[in-house]
Amino acid sequence: MRVYVLVGGAPRKGFEQKRGLSIGVEYKGLYIVFDAGPDAYVIANNAGLSGFPLDLVDHVVISHAHSPHIGGLEAIGWEAPFAKLYLPYASMETLGRQAQKWQLSPVEVVKETRVVDGVVISRPFHGPPWEHFMLVELESGRGEYALFTGCFHPAVRGVLADISNRYRVTTVIGGFHLETAPPETVRGFAEDIALRLRAERVFPLHCSGGLVGELLSERFKLDVRYLRTGDVVDL
């Protein structure tokens, strides 16, 4: 699996950065976009520079309906009309109608949903807002998964308890919504990721803040790496 940070960290030279998140995933010949960033220009520019082919996108997964995560959907519609778009619970009448104007094919996620073999969207969790997570099976052959997160608005303990009962998650990548959180909240989050989920690698992006990475690395000895917009990594 190859992961492209289209939006989400300090930008490499030539890349645009606005507050938001978008991750491109190349998986077994398919192209998936997890969240669409803040606007069409940013995602189109950064996808082009990083070599991620928006015109070949098969599936788009939107974690939750906040503007830093949905603003680039129009660009995907330009490049990949009719791509299947997985929307958060209760957003079909709003975001779904708009997506249809952009020639995307929206599907509302109301329960755990299989996208293709090895790619699953979790059931919806309420924060607010409603948010779901994407799991992609790693190619280790050991039944391990990477967990993709948008902002982690729902209570982390409930989400991880539900997911860890059925999936062995060793890698976590995305936003954690901890930039302005009190230190005790960040410590609790880090403990849950390390001890409840038993993750091994963590890639904090977007709204994660720096303290969570320090705790996961120094206290729990996890492999932590802060990626930049424009980075491409193989998992």
CATH number of the domain residue 136 falls in: 3.60.15.10
> What pLDDT does 32 receive?
98
The model's confidence at residue 150, banded by pLDDT at 50, 70 and 90, is very high
How many Cα atoms within 13 Å fall on the side-chain side of residue 60? 34
| Bridge partners for 113 per DSSP | 121
CB 80 within 8 A of CB 59: no
In a domain, 104, yes or no: yes
CB-based contact 95:70 (threshold 8 Å)? yes
In a domain, 172, yes or no: yes
Question: What backbone phi and psi angles, to 5 degrees, belong to 226?
Answer: -90, 110
Coil, helix or strand at residue 226: coil
Q: For residue 131, give every residue at least 6 positions away whose Cβ sits within 8 Å of its Cβ, in sequence order, or none.
A: 63, 64, 88, 124, 125, 150, 151, 152, 153, 154
Residue 52 has pLDDT above 90, yes or no: yes
Confidence band, pLDDT 50/70/90 cuts, at residue 79: very high
Identify whether 97 is part of a domain. yes
pLDDT > 90: what percent of the chain? 98
Does 234 reside within a domain?
A: no
Domain contains 67: yes
At 6-19, the pLDDT tens digits run: 999 999 999 998 99
Asked if residues 120 and 135 have their Cβ atoms less than 8 Å apart, the reply is: yes
Number of domains, the chain:
1
Taking all residues of the chain, what is their mean pLDDT, rounded to a whole number? 96
On the question of pLDDT at 141 being above 80, the answer is no
Q: Which residues pair with 114 in a beta bridge?
A: 120
235 located within any domain: no
Confidence tier at 64 by pLDDT (50, 70, 90): very high
Distance (Å, whole) CA 59 – CA 225: 26
According to DSSP, residue 12 is labeled P
Whole-model pTM: value is 0.97
Q: CA-to-CA distance for 140 and 201, rounded, in angstroms?
A: 14
pLDDT digits (tens, 9 = 90+) for 94-131: 999 999 999 999 999 999 999 999 999 999 999 999 99
3-state secondary structure of 214: helix
Give the pLDDT of residue 139.
86
Domain that holds residue 59: 2-229
Q: Render pLDDT for 174-193 as a digit per residue (tens, 0 to 9).
A: 999 999 999 999 999 999 99
